[in-house]
Chain A
């Protein structure tokens, strides 16, 4: 589904990704771990299409096409969803209205009929119920005055509504209490299907107790330095990122 080859990315004149390779197949959940500043969030932003991130080398292929050539909204319409680490506030814009606009834009791109307000509300209510979330979020302005937990829940709600093919969760677990974490995990697990892939970016192993990854990668210095199964995450948790670093230095 997604194939990243030798990706080099420069932000503000500084190279952050230095030859990253990643293959994700449909149905797989990949966890991407790494210390602060290793380039985790940079990867997610490049995949979503943020313009300040300049790709100097390498390629990204998504469903057989050159992802880097597509505008952010086209990527979204083709099924890429990013749950933002810091979702931005949009004052004055009603959350329900925003969700409906987004869903209909994507449905239109898929050649599906747009949903009217009634049908949309029914759908949102179902999703909220499944996530055991409160309806009050809908009445507020997009992310305005949301607590950290509310913002992340709102991201997960959007994800379940938009039903992406590739979901990227950028440190969605950071700053969450255990209840909010469970909601995030529930969102991810309900979406789990053979056609759908996910890239879960996280600093800690904790989220992976609730979302079982197929592959765990460790990112360091702008490239993936280690990959393995779920046990790698546990080992990291026990030994810390220093262990990876030491291992690399010894190898070098």
Chain B
């Protein structure tokens, strides 16, 4: 089993063992994009190949409500993309950012960097996908920054379906101004190991953040979900709901932290993490943490770890549904609570299909709950 590096030193060593790959601009074709896209063909689309922006494969905006730039004002040596949505614009169609890993080389590193700014009052949906076309060993080290100015609203479904050989690291930073609303759903399926970080902070009051996450962890996989929601200002609310299904010798870590700083009165913060273990060798470590320094707050967290409810399975089987299918149905129901929060039909569809395919392929599944 692959173990996930945790110390900065270990991560640095790891990064060092992967080499950057040169941009090959004829590797990815419009046909590939057509295959991979999760939004309508005419949607605005930013395509990134191995961390490089591919303008000729992207569909860029014309009307000025959205600007896409490739220079980021940061120290990052890598090419990145900055998307800015004009104040007050309400985008009817979703924006898509498609990250593709594809190379004939092995042990390469991709470092995509994305910054999304919604100016005051802008409303948008951003569909993000991490996918692969080749099954090479690579490291994907993504950084996504989201800035929501006052009153902005962003719906942000993300699907991570990297190859099972990929090492995936991604961190999402959300900064919310007064009255803004962030609604994100991250569905993590791929990667030999993957670590997804969420960092949420507020720069104004009355903001709300919804973070949803689902992870499916199978044989030879390790998933880490790290969550840091810092309530540093009064009157903001956050609701984080994460669920995971583990099978084979899959291992997952959920490390969620909610901090309510001394002046953050009237904070409403919720955190939940529910896990289904389908096999003997699977393991979950979960740490939902609350650190509270203000008194006028409503905070709660809840965690469950368990197996499929035998009564539920029995009920389905008593109605003539075979064990395997019943198991799939129950798992699907469990995951749907999160997948359904995506508000992106094609992405949801894709996730459901992946889930069904992956679970059906687990041959041992049928025997799991006979005990």
Q: Please determine if A and B sit in direct contact within the complex, based on CB atoms under 8 angstroms apart.
A: no
List chain A positions with a Cβ less than 8 A from chain B: none
